[in-house]
Amino acid sequence: MVTSDGEVDLHKVRGLTSLAGRAGKKGIGFTTAYMTARDAAARQGKHKNIAPGTSIWIREDGAKQLTVETLESSRQRLNR
């Protein structure tokens, strides 16, 4: 099962990076998970908020993981 409180957006990246830095951690990563590619495309069609430098993982095709380079690149990949 995949659960989430929303996509990894810039606000979450900044907050969690700051928290990790205060804890002495380096090199943290972020992944937004969706059940299906259709769910991802529908959600990003509305919100367009995945932070650059993070990843998208889709359960129905779990062997693949997309890295978001820009907000626009994530929309293009999901809408194929």
d(CA 31, CA 24): 21
C-alpha dihedral sign at 18, 23, 26, 27: negative
Q: Which residue has the tokens 């979450």?
A: 12
| The pLDDT value given to residue 80 | 56
> Which SS3 state, helix, strand or coil, does residue 4 take?
coil
pLDDT digits (tens, 9 = 90+) for 40-73: 999 988 888 899 999 999 999 999 888 988 766 5
pLDDT digits (tens, 9 = 90+) for 23-43: 999 889 999 999 999 999 999
pLDDT band of residue 74 (cuts 50, 70, 90) is low
Instruction: Say if residues 16 and 43 touch (Cβ distance below 8 Å).
Output: no
